[in-house]
Amino acid sequence: MANAVSTLNANRTKLIDGLKSISGIGSILGGNHANFVMAQVTKDGKPSNERAVSVYKNMAEHRGVVVRYRGSEVGCEGCLRITVGTEDEVAAVLKQLGELLQ
């Protein structure tokens, strides 16, 4: 169990660090002590539900990487909920987001 928690924590840190380096990702919301991260998708520096929905649909329908759109929830404008996965899954989601948000 301790090994699984350690791996999750390390992968979450890689995910958050990677998200921060992607243009088009704004704030990372929450305390980030769970198995997911809430990241704001931005347009012109402001949270964008429209862009977040577009990214969500493109990833799910055309790229086989599923994130969850949460922009309609209070305080989550423009947000995607990204589950912390394996090291390879984290790399895949970061790659896809980087391509879509450039």
CATH of the domain at 6: 3.90.1150.10
pLDDT beyond 90 at 5: no
| Residue corresponding to tokens 């995607």 | 80
**What's the predicted TM-score (pTM) here?**
0.91
Using the predicted structure, report yes or no on whether residue 2 has a pLDDT greater than 90: no
Burial (CB < 10 A; 0-12, 13-18, 19+), residue 75, is exposed
Q: Note the pLDDT of residue 1.
A: 86
pLDDT (0 to 100) of residue 89: 95
The total of structural domains in the chain comes to: 1
pLDDT beyond 90 at 12: yes
| pLDDT for res 84 | 94
56, two tokens: 């969500």
- The residue segments making up the domain with residue 59 are 2-101
